[in-house]
Amino acid sequence: MQNSPVTQSLPVVYSGSSERKPWWRFVQMLLDALAWLIALPIGFFLRYGDADLINPLGFTIVLALAIVIQLVLGFILGLYRNRYSYGSFAEGKILFPVVVVDVVIIQAALLLFAWHIDVPRSVVIIAFPFAVIAMMIMRYAKRIVEDITNRPDTLLSEPVIVYGGGFVGRSLISSLMSDPESKYRPVAIVDDDPALRNARIHSVNVKGTGSDLAQLVQKLGVKKVFFAMSNPNDKLYERVALKMRELEVEVNKITGMISDVTGEHDAESEDANRMILEGVRGKIDYDINDSDISAYITGKRVLVTGAGGSIGSELCRQIVKYSPAELLLLDHDETLLMESKYSLMGSTALDDDCIILADIRDREALAAVFDERRPEVVFHAAALKHVSALEAYPKEAWKTNTLGSRNVLEAASKVDVDVFVNVSTDKAADPTTALGQSKRTAEMLCSWYGKKTGKRYVSVRFGNVFGSRGSVKPIFTQQIKDGGPITVTHPEATRFFMLIPDACLLVMLAGAVGNSGDVMVLDMGKPVRIYDVAENLRRLYERYDVDIEITQMRPGEKLEEVLFGKDEVMQQSEKNRFISHAQAPALDPLSLDYASWHENYLRHRGYERAEHKGQSS
């Protein structure tokens, strides 16, 4: 029997999908209120020993205080705002301090007013551990229920044994055991590490070592083994494969995440990106109404600038699903442009002249292209985006991100484009770099053209696109492959991250729900420590020998990014809860002047450097 790589898709799926539903936060709050409703009577009874001695008014006041303080503190710290997976260790690290502070505040209140309500302070101290235990039991019970309900169907899934209890094996088991539609169901784990003997990983038992594999295969009736290790011993794999071949059992070698297309090892696949990012940020389930997007794309001529880039090419792949009349791909890099076209082969929206080789800096050429092709919808994703390179050459940011955007907006306005979506960045919110300043100016230009045309011209801000060219993920990956060190500028530096497919989906949604002149901001979850990303990547490759080195902050770099500027008023979109928006001030393109722009950039950059220096000292 042939032992080939896994050819089926093994998506990374996380249980707890209910946690992102709007009603779930209210359920969390009710459960924690219930925990106090259970704990306080216990505290009163243990203190008094006789229920008749309990003051009903005092009990009611203390209970109300405990619940209100718990819910207010929890909401402020993100406990009830879907920032943490319910029942996770990360949530526990927030939950415990919330309950402690709750108790401290009540103690202070009782110290001042106990004689009014006849409640001794010891009652709350006695109730405290019971409240914590009740909250943790509810969380654990919920996880158990979801673990059971999300498991693969016993009748429809094929039993498998996973050889390897390391990071890759654990990730694979987590993926399979949290997907009720999975084709495979792990029934046992084998690992040669004595420390894992009799361990339990995601509800699956470690039932022995490699020497027990043959016996387990026969005992459990398994016909497939997943050999899951990031750096496998080739001789061990060959020995296992040979033995399994004798038993007519297929062995699939998995050394990282699985590509949905080829089934081969691909630690840089979208599955891997999703696993790493959601491991440090948590999962966001974007519940999108496709009809909003199809309403303005289906049957229309759509043009994408920067179509060869990470965002532009993915936008094209998603746009074709909505059946545009024509999809036009514009980029100045012929290699990337052709790659993007080939990835779309077979789409009826493409024809032989769907690609447009043009530079957005060329004002006349761009105007001619728009005049000839007459697009109705434009997604402007072309940009220079490498912060350090643009800090060295700020005028290039001006030429492409500002003047280039002006050229695209001008050309679009002349042919009456109905919807124009300008892809921006969170660095434009409070710009301290050439990238941020150039993109902020582009947002203001987009607002001006929106007001001039009366059409829907919007800008969309989001953070770092995880896994895109130039993002930290490929940089860290290469550093790991080179033997390290992984370089991080500051241990507490955080950034907002999105996956490319999620970012593009919400960019298209913003084009449907935005108002002209809006700056739309996407829900990216909580900010992620870059240091945590480095650690997760190191674990993925099981390269614990690679050091993480702290360097220093670069000019204009911030510890934390912001999503809205100091003068911007954020409003939640009435049409979609994943999008917030603010009005961008309009900037007349006739007032564009590089000297003024550069002076403004230097002023903001100098302020940020001085501020950072003050923080460091």
Same domain, 244 and 318: no
Q: Using alpha carbons, select from 438, 449, 364 the residue that is nearest to residue 403.
A: 438
Which of 102, 122, 149 is the last residue in one of the domains? 149
Asked whether residue 7 is assigned to any structural domain, the reply reads no
Distance CA(616)–CA(588), nearest Å, equals 39
> Minimum mean pLDDT among 77-86, 389-398, 465-474: which range?
77-86
Least confident of 14-28, 158-172, 392-406: 14-28
- Rounded to 10°, the helix 500-513/270-281 angle is 80
Residues 324, 438, single domain; the answer is yes
Model confidence at 383: pLDDT above 70: yes
Among 127, 149, 171, give the residue marking a domain's end.
149
Lookup: tokens for 117: 């309500």
In this structure, the answer to whether residues 217 and 72 fall within a common structural domain is: no
pTM here is 0.57
Tell me which residue of 550, 549, 565, 559 sits closest to 613, measured CA to CA: 559
Q: Which residue has the higher pLDDT, 246 or 524?
A: 246
Q: What is the pLDDT of residues 194-218, one digit of tens each?
A: 888 888 888 899 999 989 999 999 9
Comparing 155-169, 510-524, 574-588, 598-612, the range with the smallest average pLDDT is 598-612
- pLDDT single digits (tens) 236-280: 888 898 899 989 999 887 765 443 323 334 455 555 666 666 666
Query: Which of 70, 62, 130 is closest to 99 using CA atoms?
Result: 70
Residue 472 resides in a domain: no
Does 219 fall in a domain? yes
| Surface-to-core class of residue 98, CB atoms within 10 Å of its CB (0-12 exposed, 13-18 middle, 19+ buried) | buried
- pLDDT for 260 equals 33
Residue 247 sits in a domain of what CATH number? 3.40.50.720
What pLDDT sits at residue 230?
67
Q: What would the mean pLDDT of 387-409 be, rounded to a whole number?
A: 92
**According to the model, what pLDDT value does residue 188 have?**
94
Question: Residue 370 pLDDT > 90, yes or no?
Answer: yes
Q: How high is the pLDDT of residue 266?
A: 47
| In a shared domain, residues 455 and 323 | yes
* Predicted confidence band of residue 380 (pLDDT cuts 50, 70, 90): very high
The span from the CA of 151 to the CA of 145, in Å, is 10
Whether 42 maps to a domain, the answer reads: yes
Of 116, 149, 182, the last residue of a domain is 149
Q: Are 229 and 171 in contact (CB under 8 A)?
A: no
Cβ partners under 8 Å of residue 351, min gap 6? 326
The per-residue pLDDT for range 296-324, each reduced to its tens digit, is 999 999 999 999 988 899 999 999 988 89
Q: What is the pLDDT of residue 262?
A: 32
pLDDT (mean) for 331-358: 79
Residue 281 lies in a domain: no
Burial class (CB in 10 A: 0-12, 13-18, 19+), 168: buried
Check whether residue 62 and residue 145 sit in a common domain. yes
Specify whether 381 is located in the same domain as 438.
yes
Domain assignment of residue 549, yes or no: no
Q: What string of DSSP letters covers 259-315? A: -TTT-SB-TTSHHHHHHHHHHHH--------HHHHHHHHTTSEEEEETTTSHHHHHH
Averaged pLDDT, 317-337? 91
pLDDT of residue 45: 84
Those residues with Cβ within 8 angstroms of residue 360's Cβ, 6 or more apart along the chain or in another chain = 305, 330, 332, 366, 382, 400, 404, 405, 407, 408
What does the pLDDT average to over 458-479? 79
Long-range contact pairs involving 606-611 (C-beta distance under 8 Å, separation at least 24): 607/432, 608/432, 608/556, 608/558, 609/555, 609/556
Tokens coding 400: 């492409």
Closest CA to 3 of 257, 255, 245: 245
For residues 408 and 435, membership in a common domain is answered with yes
How far apart, in Å, are the Cα atoms of 293 and each of 115, 225, 351, 370, 511? 62, 43, 23, 23, 8
Distance from C-alpha of 467 to C-alpha of 446, rounded to nearest angstrom = 28
- Give the whole-angstrom CA distance, residue 305 versus residue 199: 52
Report the mean per-residue pLDDT for the chain. Answer: 80
Residue 574 and residue 504 share a domain? yes
Give the span between the Cα atoms of 169 and 161, in whole angstroms: 11
Are 142 and 166 in a shared domain? no
Do 506 and 395 share a structural domain?
yes
Q: Is residue 539 part of a domain?
A: no
Domain count, the chain: 3
Peptide bond into 485 cis (omega under 30): yes
Residues above pLDDT 70, as percent of the chain: 78
Q: Using CA atoms, how far apart are residues 188 and 184, in angstroms rounded to an integer? A: 12
Q: What's the alpha-carbon Rg for the chain, to the nearest Å?
A: 28
Which of 130-139, 514-523, 563-572 is predicted most confidently? 130-139
SS3 track for 309-371: CHHHHHHHHHHHHHCCCEEEEEECCHHHHHHHHHCCCCCCCCCCCCEEECCCCCHHHHHHHHH
Range with lowest mean pLDDT among 142-146, 153-157, 244-248, 548-552: 142-146
Question: What integer pLDDT is reported at residue 501 of this predicted model?
Answer: 83
Residues 199 and 311 in one domain: no
| Same domain as 96, residue 202 | no
Which residue has better confidence, 63 or 477?
A: 63
382 assigned to some structural domain: yes
List the helix and strand counts (H, then E) for the chain.
Answer: 20, 21
Q: Which of 82, 585, 513 is nearest to 288 (CA)?
A: 513
Lowest mean pLDDT among 4-8, 156-160, 576-580: 4-8
Partners of 188 in beta bridges: 161
Q: By residue range, what is the domain housing residue 111?
A: 17-149
Give the pLDDT score at 606: 58
pLDDT score recorded for residue 360: 95
Question: Tokens for 445?
Answer: 């230009």
Please, what's the largest Cα pairwise distance for the chain?
Answer: 89
Q: What is the pLDDT of residues 479-500, one digit of tens each?
A: 888 888 888 888 888 887 778 8
